[in-house]
Amino acid sequence: MTVHVFGDTRVLTSRSLRHILRSPDTIITTAVTPIALMLLFVYVFGGAINTRSDTSYINYMLPGILLITIASGVAYTAYRLFLDMQGGIFERFQSMPIARSSVLWAHVLTSLAANLVSVALVIGVALVMGFRTGASVASWLAVAGILVLFTLALTWIAVIAGLSAKTVDGASAFSYPLIFLPFISSAFAPTDSMPGPVAWFASNQPATSIVNTIRALFAEEPVGSDIWISLAWLVGILVPTYAFATAIYRRKIS
């Protein structure tokens, strides 16, 4: 049974990836906005922002840009899932001898692959803009692991939106708060420079601990408790959203 599920997921993931390869503008569009934000913040606002750090501003703000890249990219998962629901693809899959869970996992794995490509493009542009890191292979792997968990957590939220939406616009609208969240965090400026209530929210929301962890890994500095807080947030979001999305999907196809 497990082999059957893996085989079906592989086939359906290949189908979804082929759709993206035929329309690479999805990945390009996902990367354009974060790249534009990098250019804006580094070359326009960067000189006016005091990060109280001796690192360059591109090094300081890149972790937040990576989170925004992923938050932008998962909107396409909700969009594609909504179109499949409206187009009757799910009904056709139900009439075939395939594992039902493979349909959702195909969308999730496609989102993961597409977002990692977008993240790689953004990091490539950041390197051209002056981003430098002495991070070890282990640190890079840790950063990759955190970004994968972040992508999976947000993608399962996207699955819920795609399954529940009534319109195309509604399917992707959920991503706007996710994109905005890193702006109220330590991604672009220290949280202690913000007004009291804003500083409290920024210090205690998930994006800040994730950004701080990635920034420390890139700088080869101690990550402290931030990594455990990040993992707690990510797992705490991933597990219930996966369970909720699966429950909605079963109700839809029952």
Segment 175-185 shows an average pLDDT of 89
Question: Which residue segment(s) compose the domain that 161 sits in?
Answer: 2-253
How many domains is the chain built from?
Answer: 1
Residues in the chain: 254
Query: What is the C-alpha separation between 5 and 131, in angstroms, rounded?
Result: 41
b/e map 83-105, b = 16+ CB within 10 Å: ebbeeeebeebeeeebbeebbbb
Per-residue pLDDT band for 153 (boundaries 50, 70, 90) equals: very high
Residue 46 has pLDDT above 70, yes or no: no
What pLDDT digit, counting tens, does each position of 114-130 carry? Answer: 899 889 999 999 999 99
Contact (CB, 8 A) for 211 and 217: no
Q: Which helix (H) or strand (E) holds 166?
A: none
216: CB partners within 8 A, 6+ apart? 222, 223, 224, 226
Instruction: Output the CA torsion sign for 31, 176, 151, 157.
Output: negative
252 has a pLDDT exceeding 80? no
Secondary structure (DSSP) of 97-121? SS-THHHHHHHHHHHHHHHHHHHHH
Strand segments (E) across 100-204? none
132-135 long-range contacts (CB < 8 A, ≥24 apart) are: 132/56, 132/59, 133/59, 133/218, 133/219, 133/220, 134/219, 134/220, 135/217, 135/218, 135/219, 135/220
**pLDDT of residue 97 exceeding 60:** no
Q: Which residues, including other chains, have CB under 8 Å from residue 218's CB and lie 6 or more apart?
A: 59, 62, 63, 133, 135, 139, 143
Q: Are 13 and 106 in contact (CB under 8 A)?
A: yes
Tell whether the model's pLDDT for residue 89 goes beyond 70: no
CB 243 within 8 A of CB 153: no
Residues 68, 116 contacting (CB under 8 angstroms): no
Q: What is the mean pLDDT of the chain?
A: 84
What pLDDT shows up at residue 7?
66
Band of residue 50 on the pLDDT scale cut at 50, 70, 90: low
Q: Stretch 66-95: mean pLDDT, rounded?
A: 78
For residues 194-203, average pLDDT: 92
Residue with tokens 């799910």: 90
Residue 3: the pLDDT is: 46
169 burial level (CB within 10 Å; 0-12, 13-18, 19+): exposed
Q: What is the mean pLDDT of residues 159-182?
A: 84
